[in-house]
Structures are given as C-alpha cells and as structure tokens.
Chains A and B, each alone.
Chain A
Amino acid sequence: QVQLVESGGRVVQPGRSLRLSCAASGFTFSSFGMHWVRQAPGKGLEWVAVLSYDGSNKYYADSVKGRFTISRDQSKNRLDLQMNGLRVEDTAVYYCARTQSSGNWYFDLWGRGTLVTVSS
C-alpha cells in the first residue's frame, strides 16, 4: 500500500528539541523528493522544507531556517525533521508529502500528520 506515516509529535516546552519521522511504503522512496508541510490549528498550510530524492539538495522556509533540519535514510525509507529551538508558533500538525514524479513541487501523496504542541 502506498502510504506515508508520520510519528514523533508530542507536547514540548519552548526552546526544546523534537524529531519527527515519516515512514514511506509502497513506492520507491529513493526516487522522490520529499517535503514537510505544517498547519497550525485552524489555520492554512505552510511549507516547511524539502529534500531532493538523493539527499543532495535541501531548502527551508525562512520561518524555520537555522532551527530545523530535514534528512532522509534511504535504507529505511524514512524522512526526518529535526526541530531545535522550538517556539510557540511552531505548534501545528506536521505532514510529510511526496513530490510528484515529474519533479515539480506538487504533492501527490500526503501522510495523516503528527501534532506538535509547543507550550510551557
């Protein structure tokens, strides 16, 4: 079954760190660029980061640059997001999403999301 499953979300205090993971299955993970997209409660979608299919290129939204790091483990079909220096405004559901096979940054497969709550 083609799917993405996120994990790792929980309640964390401001300034602390958290690592999210996304397990991919049912497709050739190493052939696709992968993204993280987040959605604050009751708000719209915000792109967070992208990592190319081979891990050679990564880009971040200005709001997380220098604090978040995207990575992938091709042997485990896993995408990660290391989040440091968390802020209250990072509270959101975090989705991992697959880049369309064309390579264009459209998302044709999404996970169900994992909730990160940053609160003291």
Chain B
Amino acid sequence: AIQLTQSPSSLSTSVGDRVTITCRASQGISSALAWYQQRPGKAPKLLIYDASSLESGVPSRFSGSGSGTDFTLTISSLQPEDFATYYCQQFNNYAGLTFGGGTKLEIK
C-alpha cells in the first residue's frame, strides 16, 4: 500500500503567517492527491483535489502543488478559523486509499 508521510506533525503559528505543509508519497501517484481540513469534533472538509484544484467555496488563501511523490499545501495568510488539523489523501483505484498522519496547526 502507498504510504503518505506528512511534515511537520504539528506547527505553532500566528495569524497572518504563511504556512506550508508537506506530504510525501512512498511511490509516484501522479496528481491523485487531496487535502482536507478537520476542526475538533467535526468531519473533515475537502480543500484541494487533484493536487492543485481548489474545491468550490474554499478561500483562495489555500493552494496546493506537486506531482509524483512530493506535494505541498500552502495557506498564504493564516486566519483564526484555519487552526485545525490537515490531512493529505491519495487514491489508487482498486488498490485502496490512504491518508497522511495529519498536521496540527496550533496558535503560537
């Protein structure tokens, strides 16, 4: 199974900061990667799909890039509501689907 490794696992940041989260796949997955945001006690929310496509309704401060094995999620200017945990996810049809271990953004 394809493994996804996220870094960092946690990050202390401040409102207004630019934040970058990395997701590395154990083998090439082309652009079949998504990013989700999960606030405490809530279901995850899709932010980015196909590595760089912004889901409808998601603020433009969120962006994604990468292909193959290395991917990034960038938040250009952190807002108070962005303090949450972020997960990357890949799929390989008929061979399953995996999530990264998560990155928790905390207020500095």
- Residues of chain A touching chain B, judged by Cβ–Cβ distance below 8 Å, are 35, 44-47, 50, 59, 61-62, 95, 100, 104-108, 110-113
Contacts and interface: CB of A to CB of B under 8 A. Distances in A.
A108 B50 CA distance: 13
B82 interface: no
A105 B91 contact: yes
B38, B96, B100 interface centre (most CB from chain A within 10 Å) = B96
A83 B45 CA distance: 26
Interface in B17-49: 32, 34, 36, 38, 42-46, 49
Contacts of A44: 87, 99-102
A35 B97 CA distance: 11
Contact of A104 (B45, B50, B96): B50
A13 B45 CA distance: 32
B72 interface: no
Given A104-B50, A106-B49, A61 B43 contact: no
Contacts of B55: 108
A45 B46 contact: no
Interface string B57-97: 00000000000000000000000000000010101011011
A62 B1 CA distance: 10
B44 A107 contact: yes
Contact of B89 (A50, A106, A110, A112): A106
Nearest to B1: A62
B3 interface: no
A78 B21 CA distance: 36
B43 A111 contact: yes
Q: Which of A45, A50, A106: most chain B Cβ within 10 A?
A: A106
B14 interface: no
Given A59-B94, A105-B97, A106-B49, A45 B87 contact: yes
A18 B69 CA distance: 38
B98 interface: yes
Given A95-B43, A106-B91, A61 B49 contact: no
22 contacts: A35-B97, A44-B87, A44-B99, A45-B89, A45-B102, A46-B99, A47-B98, A50-B97, A62-B96, A100-B46, A104-B49, A105-B91, A106-B34, A106-B46, A106-B89, A106-B91, A107-B44, A108-B46, A110-B43, A110-B44, A110-B45, A112-B42
